[in-house]
Structure 1
Amino acid sequence: MNWYRQMNTTERRTFIAAFGGWALDALDFMVFTFVITTLITVFSIDKAQAGLLATVTLLFSAIGGWLAGMLADRYGRVRVLQGTILWFSVCTVLIGFAQNFEQIFLLRALQGLGFGGEWAVGSVLMGEIVRTEHRGRAVGTVQSGWAVGWAVAALCYTGAFSWLPEVYAWRALFWIGVIPALLVLYIRKHVPEPELFQRTQKSEETSAHRTSPLAIFSPALIKTTGLAALLCTGAQGGYYAVTTWLPTFLKTERHLSVIGTGGYLLVIILGSFIGYLVGAYLTDRLGRRGNLLVFALLSGASIYVYTQLSLTNEQMLVLGFPLGFAASGIFSGMGAYLTELFPSPVRANGQGFAYNFGRGIGALFPSLVGYLAKTSGLGAAIGMFAGGAYLLVLLTAFLLPETKGREIH
């Protein structure tokens, strides 16, 4: 990691803060995917309702991400990043005290507001502070924090359900959500506002003209905004269709034990971690579009094999690695790409809208998978929606420009 050693102190501290924030977001968010089966039993809900609990978080994260992006362009990246982390952390802890489906639904919606904002603001912060020659690898490597948080969630799940009664184990997992709040202290002390943002603010104050949040829909930017939003829809729709339902798929259709499910998922998570790192390298090597095309093709092929073919336990274990590798590596170039597509006055706004529009539409996929699973089976439902999503990635990647090496202003 020569690029990391070449970064200055501010760049490294920003990298640590963004990496930690994304890892802790993953920990809090992915805990839900492990307890879906338990919640179905405890609160007597069906798969469709369980899917809604996943979908509502993603839908509200779309709102939160765009709102956080607009606020970050107005009040600063660092200040808004701290607020999103605190909001997300508090809501996650409160879910552990919920007494019925309606309370969980409300808290999952509120949780989504912070979840959407953290990535949108953190990614822009990284993109503006890190130099052009390191941007792709640095921002891409931050994405690998998701695999780290996911792995910790899997370990916590295995431990909690091994040592605690089921009725308390799922609550304890959400109470762990208090941890991200501690990251705010580090950010307050060590991470400054990007100089580029400060210059943009001074320029707008001097001219007494502030760029409208709706500028991303102006004739000059509408094509970029629309295609970027569709690109993010495909990448996230495919990812959420798989990761939301995969633990339940392994448990109900492959009939794996709790420990077995954790073991299989750890192989997928390891593949995800390496996929993020390889994707971070390829996004600078092949370019932003090249990275997206390679991983979209790999993702479609892996999901088809994993969910549609009749495999032995040993084969499934081995194939879990390329599944995680492909589904995650596609995100490594996304942050740098979106940062480079939008101009500074609306960068967080445009990036927040595009990524979270994709998240909002992609949020429908878990619910649709749940409904389709009633008639077609869970594996077929996952394969159908994820395959269509990655086809969308291929189409939009061809239509967007390459931005590798672009200086941002």
Structure 2
Amino acid sequence: MNRIRYPMKIGWYSELSSVEKRSWFASLGGYVLDAFDSTIFSLSMPILLSIGFLVKSEAGVLSSVSLIGSALGGWSAGLLADRFGRIKIMKLTVIWLTVFTMLTAFCNSYWEFFALRFFQGLGYGGEMIVSGVLISEVIRSSLRGRVASTIQSGYAVGNALSLAVLPVVLAYYPPESAWRILFTLGVIPAIIVWWIRQKTPESSVYLGGKKDAGKAKSSTIKIIFGHSYRRITITATILSTGIFGGAYVMITWLPTYLRLSLGLPVTSMSGYLFVNILGSLMGPFICGYISDKLGRWKTIMLFLLLQTGVVSVYMFMSVNLNITLVLGYFLGALQGGLASSTMPAFSELYPTSMRGGGAGFCASFGRGFGSLMPAAVGFLTAYIPLGIAMGSLAIASYAIAFIASLTLPDVTGADLNSVSQQRPVAEKNRQQLEIK
């Protein structure tokens, strides 16, 4: 008797069209590349400190200068994507990021490192913003939250890859040269990502709104700070500042905290970080699903409250290493969920003609302002323990984000496919803010 075989379905992925799937892989790959290259610095930081190449205050500044570059790069790439298309700019950011990451391997001084980290940051920001805009436009509104959020999981994949190669490189090379080799490996995922994007079509929403964008008489900066969008832009930027400020504190300093404050050897540190990465892989899936059901801002507020609790226990209480291991999972899951939530929410607040510039400004400058937090941690460690500095500044960041989220209008599932329907959405945003 012949059995009828039905195609296997994998959740929402099975519901995506071929174009949606290609766009998802193109966006996800950018986050993998971004994370692989950026977390190499965090993983190399204990090495650079131990060999005397850097001191803690310099390490904090290098983390922040990259994030400041990310703010400028993200907004600039968003503006360029509004003018030239999402895919063209996404291919450019891959090349840019790869070149400056490889050049970092040849640094011989702090100031060379400083300059190259800034240029790396330009590429990081461009990757995040344009990928977020593309996926928000391509995915249908009923699935946007859960699909668009999951590209943030690429960060966990890239982080896991860099974490996997760290002990291998250290096993064969001395610390003085191992960190340089790590920075050269970013070219491998870059080639794959660039090839995927070559096969990915442009966003139909962007193509449909291109004529409307060409008729615009005002610049994007004037519009997003004009009467209809000013409060949305400022508040969303503050929200992004809080979310990423807290995230960058933990991402940047957690390897150093585990290695130097808790005294874990490299092999044990890698295990603890892997659990954290596993959480950050799952968090965007959970956050995206909840945001489609509960709404963008309610979900963000929930995750902020939970993350504050986890960080408080992780950093301020004396718990054994087993509990620390478990908490690391939730720390990563909530952190990944919060980071994944911003671009789908911001993209729904702006029309196609200015979506890259508007959403890009909020997310990018939020990252830029939030980037001050890792540097602040570095300076505070001269007066208080590292864990106390990390926990205090992370929680302060989450509080800022929570207050901002209370005042933003929720337009979950807004239709981005019709340019004519986007102006009423913007007007609705303005009216909701005036009522509040």
Structure 1 residue 170 and structure 2 residue 186: aligned?
A: no
- For 2:322, the equivalent position in structure 1 comes to 314
- For 1:51, the equivalent position in structure 2 comes to 60
Q: Please report how far the alpha carbon of residue 174 of structure 1 lies from its aligned counterpart in structure 2 after TM superposition.
A: 0.5
Structure 1 residue 136 and structure 2 residue 145: aligned?
A: yes
- For 1:356, the equivalent position in structure 2 comes to 364
Using the alignment, how far apart are the partners of 1:39 and 1:250 within structure 2?
16
**Which among 193, 196, 202 is matched to residue 202 of structure 2?**
193
Structure 1 residue 212 and structure 2 residue 212: aligned?
A: no
2:254 is aligned with what amino acid? L
Q: Deviations over 1:367-402 (max 9, x none)?
A: 100111111110000011000111112111110011
Using the alignment, how far apart are the partners of 1:44 and 1:122 within structure 2?
35
Check conservation: 2:31, 2:154, Cα contact below 8 A: yes
Q: TM-score w.r.t. structure 2 length?
A: 0.91
Q: Please report how far the alpha carbon of residue 128 of structure 1 lies from its aligned counterpart in structure 2 after TM superposition.
A: 0.9
Q: Deviations over 1:317-356 (max 9, x none)?
A: 1221111112221123222101101111110001111001
1:187 is aligned with what amino acid? R
Check conservation: 2:348, 2:413, Cα contact below 8 A: no
Using the alignment, how far apart are the partners of 1:125 and 1:58 within structure 2?
22
Where structure 1 has 5 or more consecutive residues not aligned to the other structure, the ranges are none
Structure 1 residue 292 and structure 2 residue 296: aligned?
A: no
Structure 1 residue 150 and structure 2 residue 162: aligned?
A: no
Aligned residues: 406
2:273 is aligned with what amino acid? L
Q: Deviations over 1:211-236 (max 9, x none)?
A: 41212111111111011101100100
Using the alignment, how far apart are the partners of 2:341 and 2:299 within structure 1?
7
Q: Deviations over 1:290-322 (max 9, x none)?
A: 210111011111111111111222221122111
2:246 is aligned with what amino acid? G
**Which among 378, 387, 400 is matched to residue 392 of structure 1?**
400
Where structure 2 has 5 or more consecutive residues not aligned to the other structure, the ranges are 1-9, 420-436
Q: Please report how far the alpha carbon of residue 210 of structure 1 lies from its aligned counterpart in structure 2 after TM superposition.
A: 4.6
- For 1:75, the equivalent position in structure 2 comes to 84
Moved over 3 A (4+): 41-44
- For 2:3, the equivalent position in structure 1 comes to none
Judging changes above 3 Å, is the alpha-carbon distance between structure 1 residues 126 and 9 closer, same or farther for their aligned structure 2 residues?
same
Check conservation: 1:21, 1:180, Cα contact below 8 A: no
**Which among 323, 326, 329 is matched to residue 331 of structure 2?**
323
1:394 is aligned with what amino acid? F
Structure 1 residue 95 and structure 2 residue 104: aligned?
A: yes
- Larger-gyration structure (1/2): 2
Using the alignment, how far apart are the partners of 2:280 and 2:210 within structure 1?
38
Identity %: 37
SS at match of 2:259: helix
Check conservation: 1:11, 1:129, Cα contact below 8 A: yes
The Cα RMSD (Å) is: 1.3
Q: Please report how far the alpha carbon of residue 43 of structure 1 lies from its aligned counterpart in structure 2 after TM superposition.
A: 4.6
Using the alignment, how far apart are the partners of 2:289 and 2:11 within structure 1?
12
SS at match of 1:131: coil
- For 1:245, the equivalent position in structure 2 comes to 253
Q: Please report how far the alpha carbon of residue 134 of structure 1 lies from its aligned counterpart in structure 2 after TM superposition.
A: 1.2
**Which among 118, 122, 127 is matched to residue 118 of structure 1?**
127
Q: Please report how far the alpha carbon of residue 202 of structure 1 lies from its aligned counterpart in structure 2 after TM superposition.
A: 2.1
Judging changes above 3 Å, is the alpha-carbon distance between structure 1 residues 280 and 225 closer, same or farther for their aligned structure 2 residues?
same
